[in-house]
């Protein structure tokens, strides 16, 4: 053990450019030649010696907690051993100050309004990539070349059909069932039709399984809509792109053939790209939490969809449309905002503010521009858009909202665009799930690729207690 540590110290002394890459190689080699745990301990000890620390004073002791620095400079101190060393835990309702994992998928800087997928700014991606390319980027780590894109697209086509036996499931949902509930149930049921979805099997065939889920969810979503309106199912076509296929399955009819608009396909691509991932939000955290129990991919994604269905998460854009409609009926933006500022009023300003962004949501800037362009191009007049513009202008010039960092978020305009595409409001959350799926899969894949422990947070108990020695 000591000899190994001396070797590592010698090796590390060659400087970070030399040592960090070669340490990885030798540690990997050691996994094959010796005990994994021994070498992991050695490496951890060595890195701890090189680490920055914060000092925590507890009672009459001082505890050193190692500082971890991310690739964008964000710092955290590691409390992994806190309870073991001190008997204390931390309390952080909502987990706003807690880093639950390491991740290389998405970077968000709320103070500066930055969003990057795999290091690439979202502003660049919406200009040069399709949603299929973004899905590949998130799941595999790099944008695909021509050959990789062709192979991935072929896998999507091959896996676009739903098992015919599953079609009968749709017949037994109530006519008024919310498409989101149908989608969550159907995805969970996929494990019965594709049973080889345990972690080992998925790792061996991750690309095929990923493509199957990304493709088949699109088909399920369209089927759920068709069921809700009592129309016959439209099958996917191999000659259409991902977004064009979805629009055709949604709106094509035997008596009214759907004409696919390139403009509609383009704006749908952008909407899906903007929603493809957003770091450790509620649904993504759910996916990682459920997945940590080694649950199969389908059940894990089903849980993520359930988390997304809440009005404070995926349902927010629908709430925005309902808010704009209520203002249209009331006739006064000033009166509405007065209710928002009244502490005794339940009225809320939907589509403004974000748990992370303290300035403009970069996605909102993009979708606002695309919303205007699409409605103008298609000569669509939407009174709700006019209300939205006036509401945004008024709120952004009001000290009440400025002081609280309440800026428009991505939900503020996305609902208007979905309305313009002909997508009904009860499908808004489904569209969010369709977009977020590659991000969920990427996080699930990243999680199973590490030695992840099952998530098991602690609590501070505040219930009734029994005094020692008291009668029962």
User: 449 Cβ partners below 8 Å, 6+ apart?
Assistant: none
DSSP annotation of 159 reads T
| 3-class secondary structure, 55 | strand
CA distance 171 to 444: 31
> What is the residue whose two structure tokens read 């009926």?
329
What are the beta bridge partners of residue 76? 68
Q: Would you state the structure tokens that stand for residue 140, as one six-digit string?
A: 């595999």
Q: Under a CB-based contact definition with an 8 Å cutoff, are residues 226 and 234 in contact?
A: yes
Residue 42: alpha-carbon gap to chain centroid:
35
* Cα distance between the two ends of the chain: 54
- What is the number of alpha carbons within 13 Å of residue 398 lying toward its C-beta? 17
Q: Under a CB-based contact definition with an 8 Å cutoff, are residues 37 and 43 in contact?
A: no
User: What are the CA-CA distances from residue 355 to residues 317, 343, 403, 431 (Å)?
Assistant: 16, 20, 15, 21
HEC profile of 168-192: HHHCCCCCCCCHHHHHHHHHHHHHH
Q: Is 354 a catalytic residue?
A: yes
54 phi and psi angles, rounded to 5 deg: -110, 150
- What is the number of alpha carbons within 13 Å of residue 364 lying toward its C-beta? 21
Max CA distance (Å), the chain = 80
Angle 237-239-243 from CA coordinates, rounded to 5°:
70
Angle 93-317-327 from CA coordinates, rounded to 5°:
110
Beta strands 75-77; 106-109: pairing state: unpaired
Burial level of 189, CB count in 10 A (0-12/13-18/19+)? middle
Catalytic residue among 252, 277, 361, 411: 411
Q: Under a CB-based contact definition with an 8 Å cutoff, are residues 280 and 105 in contact?
A: no
DSSP annotation of 28 reads H
Q: Would you state the structure tokens that stand for residue 296, as one six-digit string?
A: 């199969």
Catalytic residue among 278, 354, 361, 443: 354
Q: Would you state the structure tokens that stand for residue 458, as one six-digit string?
A: 């602690």
Q: How many residues does the chain have?
A: 472
Residue 355 CB neighbours (<10 A): 12
CA distance 55 to 63: 6
CA distance 50 to 216: 48
Q: Catalytic site residues?
A: 354, 411
């Amino acid at each position: 053990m000591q000899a190994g540590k001396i070797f590592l110290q010698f090796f590390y002394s060659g400087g970070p450019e030399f040592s960090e890459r070669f340490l990885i190689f030798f540690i990997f080699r050691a996994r094959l030649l010796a005990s994994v745990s021994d070498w992991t301990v050695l490496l951890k000890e060595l890195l701890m010696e090189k680490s920055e620390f914060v000092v925590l004073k507890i009672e009459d002791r001082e505890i050193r907690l190692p500082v971890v620095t991310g690739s964008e400079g964000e710092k955290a101190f590691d409390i992994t051993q806190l309870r073991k060393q001190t008997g204390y835990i931390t309390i952080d309702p909502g987990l706003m100050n807690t880093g639950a994992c390491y991740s290389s998928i998405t970077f968000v800087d709320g103070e500066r309004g930055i969003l990057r997928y795999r290091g690439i700014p979202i502003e660049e991606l919406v200009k040069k990539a399709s949603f299929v390319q973004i899905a590949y980027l998130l799941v595999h780590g790099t944008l695909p070349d021509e050959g990789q894109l062709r192979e991935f697209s072929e896998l999507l086509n091959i896996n676009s059909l739903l098992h015919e036996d599953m079609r009968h499931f749709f017949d037994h949902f109530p006519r008024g069932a919310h498409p989101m509930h149908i989608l969550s149930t159907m995805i969970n049921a996929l494990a019965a039709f594709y049973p080889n979805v345990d972690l080992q099997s998925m790792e061996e065939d991750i690309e095929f399984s990923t493509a199957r889920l990304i493709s088949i969810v699109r088909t399920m979503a369209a089927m759920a809509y068709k069921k809700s309106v009592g129309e016959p199912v439209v099958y996917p076509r191999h000659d259409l792109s991902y977004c064009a296929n979805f629009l055709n399955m949604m709106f094509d009819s035997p008596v009214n053939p759907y004409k696919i608009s390139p403009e509609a396909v383009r704006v749908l691509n952008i909407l899906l790209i903007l929603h493809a991932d957003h770091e450790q939000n509620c649904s993504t955290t759910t996916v990682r939490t459920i997945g940590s129990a080694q649950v199969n991919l389908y059940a894990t994604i089903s849980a993520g969809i359930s988390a997304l269905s809440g009005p404070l998460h995926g349902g927010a854009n629908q709430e925005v449309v309902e808010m704009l409609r209520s203002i249209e009926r009331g006739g006064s933006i000033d009166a509405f905002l007065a209710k928002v500022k009244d502490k005794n009023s339940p009225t809320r300003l939907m589509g403004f503010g974000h748990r992370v962004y303290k300035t403009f949501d970069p996605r909102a800037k993009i979708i606002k521009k695309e919303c205007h362009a699409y409605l103008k191009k298609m000569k669509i007049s939407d009174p709700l858009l006019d209300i939205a513009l006036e509401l945004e202008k008024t709120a952004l010039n009001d000290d009440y909202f400025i002081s609280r960092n309440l800026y428009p978020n991505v939900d503020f305009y996305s609902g208007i665009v979905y309305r313009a595409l002909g997508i009904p409001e009860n499908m808004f959350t489904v569209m969010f799930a369709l977009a977020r799926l590659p991000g969920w899969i990427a996080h699930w894949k990243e999680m199973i690729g590490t030695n992840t422990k099952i998530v098991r947070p602690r609590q501070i108990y505040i219930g009734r207690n029994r005094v020692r020695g008291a009668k029962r």
